[in-house]
Amino acid sequence: MEESERLDLIREKALELGAAQAKLILAEEIVVENRVVLKCRLGCDEYGRRLTCPPYTFTVDEFRKMLGEYHWALLLKFRSQASAGPEVATNLLRTEYDPDVCAERKAEAAAFWATWKKQKGEILLAVLELERTTFNLGYTLALGFTSGSCGLCEKCNTAAGICLHPTMARLPEHAVGIHMKATMAKAGMPLSFPFQGHPEPTGLLLID
């Protein structure tokens, strides 16, 4: 089978698995920036709590070197079933943690996160299945990435430093410096921030 046929099969499989859009790009077109991980350290309440997040992951420079050894990447965009009005969508963390936010808004945020968490797990399974399909087509170094921090365990095994689900856990794109908003825009698949009604979770598959 020609490489173009195999790559087409991988893209078609992504759509079958629930991606709203899937686009093949050269790996060198992925935007990687050192500043991206600042949002992990200063702005994310999962920092230091997950082995798939900084400071436990590869450094941005280490990832750049690894990325340079890949030829292809498949960008994935999903449509989330989670929803929130503009007041909650633009203040998700404040709505969750600020005691002065009204109960109605807090309930809306809680419903959003419950749906988001469930679908995040479904997207991880889709990315893993896509990775398996790609591996079986001869791309033995295929590796998937997903949006958001890992949710496989309620509490990550950071104390021991050993992941309890190493065959399933995957890194969030931003944890290694991938600027997904810029990468998606560059590929003609822009993301909306703040999201309008429903967020657009992303995924990424490195192929080689």
Domain boundaries, the chain: 3-207
What length does the chain have? 208
Q: What is the pLDDT of residues 157-208, one digit of tens each?
A: 999 999 999 999 999 999 999 999 999 999 999 998 777 778 889 999 999 9
Report, as an integer, the average pLDDT of 113-122.
86
78 touches 201 (CB < 8 A): yes
- pLDDT greater than 80 at residue 26: yes
- pLDDT greater than 80 at residue 150: yes
The predicted pLDDT at position 81 comes to 84
Using CB atoms within 10 Å of the CB of residue 26, give its burial: 0 to 12 exposed, 13 to 18 middle, 19+ buried.
exposed
Share of the chain above pLDDT 70, in %: 100
> Per-residue confidence at 55, pLDDT binned at 50, 70, 90?
very high
Q: How does the average pLDDT of the chain come out, rounded? A: 91
Whether this prediction's pTM lies above 0.75 is answered by yes
- pLDDT greater than 80 at residue 118: yes
The predicted pLDDT at position 114 comes to 82
How many Cα atoms sit within 13 Å of 116 on the Cβ side?
Answer: 20
13 touches 130 (CB < 8 A): yes
User: What angle, 0 to 180 degrees and rounded to 10, lies between the N-to-C axes of helices 103-136 and 3-16?
Assistant: 150
Instruction: Tell me the DSSP string of 77-107.
Output: E---S----HHHHT-HHHHHH-TTS-HHHHH
List the structure tokens of 22.
Answer: 């899937």
The predicted pLDDT at position 56 comes to 94
- Residue 205: strand pairing partners: 74, 144
Q: What is the pLDDT of residues 60-108, one digit of tens each?
A: 999 999 999 999 999 999 988 877 777 777 777 677 777 777 888 778 7
As a whole number of angstroms, the distance between CA 132 and CA 138 comes to 10
Cis peptide preceding 194, ω within 30 of 0: yes
